[in-house]
């Protein structure tokens, strides 16, 4: 068995085009019926404002797949700890034996989530966004914007968050790392109204983005609501959207933003909803006009985990990285 630590994994899998292509291929296989995707197993720990998710997928034809355990404990900041952590196990699809343990501490989850946001932007966001907006100032707010840089050119970023010190640090980091001009907004409304592209990255349990703020040409990627009790977008916003997309229709209708839109009757089971993989595979078009309002609901699917884990595993084997044990 191969053991990889976080430092090794970070060097093996940067935020790059090959990683984006790997995640895209996972979505393509999912949309074409070439993936076995079990339901998410979630363990809630309400006493400590935490949850642990177990995700996996087998992509047909591959010799291995990944099982990912990811934790989000949202009071960790008071303990001086990151909110997220995790690890992945690579399992042989031929024998069922474990082949590798990836002690990534949640890094690969951050990367693959950011790359899913980049894919949504590649196919649905305006071609030349004048200003990009982000709601939230945590780890994923960074990865979403880093990944967005792979598919879109932009120089202006506007951010809103509830922690002034965290928002200030975020603005400084993004300006230094990506050379962006960063504006700190006084409200989520300011972000939405002033941006062509918005990504929401919070664990909010109440809607942050209101339907009345949406405007022609806007794209929103919402990735924070990955369980039934979370919600970042007012359900009525989906009634204003020209196009609704998601990573997995069945999963999002069960626990994503679309879950709330379905519950409130804004959409129903017959509402056209495009899966990201259908666009990647060329079966359905992406953005069709500059005036469209598009929303993409991302809840995270196991095909992303298998693809990013196997990318790290195969690069480690080819480069002789990691520790092997009997």
- What residues act catalytically? 68
Q: Which has the closest alpha carbon to 27: 184, 243, 248, 236?
A: 248
CA angle at residue 197 from 246 to 24, to 5 degrees? Answer: 40
Backbone angles phi, psi at 90, to 5 degrees: -95, 125
CA angle at residue 273 from 246 to 57, to 5 degrees? Answer: 45
Please enumerate in sequence order all residues whose Cβ is within 8 A of that of 72, keeping only pairs 6 or more positions apart, or say none: 50, 51, 52, 53, 83, 84, 203
Both tokens of 47, joined, read 């006493």
Q: Please give the biggest Cα pair distance in the chain.
A: 60
Q: How far apart are the first and last CA of the chain?
A: 6
Backbone angles phi, psi at 270, to 5 degrees: -95, -5
């Amino acid at each position: 068995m191969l053991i990889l630590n976080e430092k090794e994994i970070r060097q093996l899998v940067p935020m790059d085009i090959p990683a984006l292509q790997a995640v895209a291929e996972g979505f393509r296989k999912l949309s074409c019926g070439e993936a076995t995707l079990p339901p998410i197993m979630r363990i809630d720990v309400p006493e400590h404002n935490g949850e642990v998710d177990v995700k996996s997928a087998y992509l047909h034809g591959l010799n291995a797949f990944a099982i990912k355990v990811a934790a989000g404990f949202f009071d960790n900041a008071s303990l001086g700890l990151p909110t997220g952590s995790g690890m992945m196990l690579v399992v042989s699809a031929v024998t069922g034996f474990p082949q590798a343990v990836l002690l990534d501490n949640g890094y690969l989850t951050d990367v693959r989530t950011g790359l899913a946001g980049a894919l949504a932007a590649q196919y649905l966001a305006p071609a030349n966004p004048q200003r990009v907006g982000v709601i939230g100032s945590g780890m994923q707010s960074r990865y979403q914007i880093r990944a967005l840089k792979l598919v879109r050119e932009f120089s202006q970023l506007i951010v809103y968050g509830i922690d002034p010190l965290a928002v200030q640090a975020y603005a400084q980091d993004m300006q230094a790392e990506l050379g962006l001009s960063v504006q700190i907004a006084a409200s989520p409304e300011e972000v939405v109204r002033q941006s062509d592209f918005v990504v929401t990255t919070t664990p909010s349990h109440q809607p942050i983005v209101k339907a009345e703020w949406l405007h022609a040409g806007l794209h929103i990627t919402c990735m924070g609501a990955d369980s039934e009790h979370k919600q970042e977008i007012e359900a009525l916003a989906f009634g204003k959207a020209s196009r609704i997309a998601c990573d997995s229709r069945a999963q999002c209708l069960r626990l994503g933003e679309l879950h709330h839109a379905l519950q409130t009757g804004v959409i129903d089971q017959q509402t056209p909803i495009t899966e990201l993989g259908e666009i990647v595979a060329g079966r359905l078009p992406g953005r069709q006009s500059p005036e469209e309002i598009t929303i993409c609901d991302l809840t995270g699917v196991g095909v992303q985990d298998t693809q990013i884990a196997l990318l790290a595993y195969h690069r480690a084997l080819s480069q002789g990285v990691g520790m092997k044990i009997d």
